[in-house]
Structure 1
């Protein structure tokens, strides 16, 4: 496995690059930009993604370990099957793209913004998503056991197939359609009102 270690890629533009099976260790990608880049089966360890921007790029089956994604932005990116371990996500913004099957177990996701993102079957078990924005997302069959969604905005997201038994939803915002689905998931019978 090729290793790229300790390099300063501050502000670098990585357009159309392709890496497979590469280990990136102690890299500074602060304010870097990727467009159409493809990373497959790569490992990012202690990499700084601070204020970086990623557009139409793919990070497929990658491992992110002890990385800092402060104020990073991902637009229409594909992160299918990637896992995040002990990473920091303050002010992370994700717009569109697919984060299906992504591993974010026990992640600290307070205040992050995901809009229109495919998060189908993502593992968010034990994740702290307080005050997070998760609007218009496909969260169907996502694993949310033990997750804290206090104050989160879930409007417009597909919440089918989620087990809600030990999810904290205090102060979360949902729309009418979601309220019905949530009630039915709890075994309630919803009757349409006739005014």
Structure 2
């Protein structure tokens, strides 16, 4: 337990304006809690659990999520830059709306049916992950790397800026829209005229 929290378990608690930048939060469980306008920038979040929690207008940029459990977590209007989501422990289920996910890494994760709405992913990467049935609704994927992922039935129909190498990802029945879908042909050394 850290000195920033009095208990090691919190349920139905609202945290507003909490600033834990550059701090360590360890071995604390949060259930059905909300975090509004909180800063976890550069925070070491170690062996914690967040179940059915909401983060709104929070800054978690460059936070370290070591062995931390996230299940039914909703991030709305949050800065989540530079996070390695591969360090999350156990089941991982989250929704992202109007978030900045630039330079984040999603390696070897089950992100099946994840929902990303109005998010940016500049310089982010998805590697060896299951993104089947995931939705990227009105997301900016400029400079985002997709390598060795399962994108079966993923929905990119309103996403833009993506460059997905179809030879390195499984894209069976994934949804795309024109004109953005033309970028899927870039790695075939062909001319479209």
1:86 paired to 2:77 = yes
Deviations 1:153-180 (A, max 9, x none): 22133322212323225334x47351xx
Cα separation, 1, equivalents of 2:148 and 2:25? 29
Cα separation, 1, equivalents of 2:47 and 2:97? 25
Cα separation, 2, equivalents of 1:76 and 1:161? 30
- Equivalence for 1:46: 37
Q: 1:118 to 1:58 in 2, by over 3 A?
A: farther
Q: Which runs of structure 2 are paired with 1:1-195 in the superposition (5 Å)?
A: 12=3, 17-97=8-88, 98-100=91-93, 102-172=94-164, 174=165, 176-178=167-169, 181-182=170-171, 184-185=173-174
Q: Is the 8 A contact 2:135 2:156 kept in 1?
A: no
Aligned alpha-carbon RMSD (Å):
2.6
> CA offset at residue 28 of structure 1?
1.3
Q: Which runs of 5+ in 1 are unaligned?
A: 1-10, 188-195
Structure with greater strand percent: 2
**SS of aligned partner of 1:64:** strand
**SS of aligned partner of 1:59:** strand
Deviations 1:33-76 (A, max 9, x none): 23332111001111110111123321111011111112111133
**SS of aligned partner of 1:119:** coil
> CA offset at residue 25 of structure 1?
1.2
Q: Which runs of 5+ in 2 are unaligned?
A: 177-193
Q: Is the 8 A contact 2:78 2:98 kept in 1?
A: no
**SS of aligned partner of 1:103:** strand
The TM-score normalised by the length of structure 2 is 0.76
The TM-score normalised by the length of structure 1 is 0.75
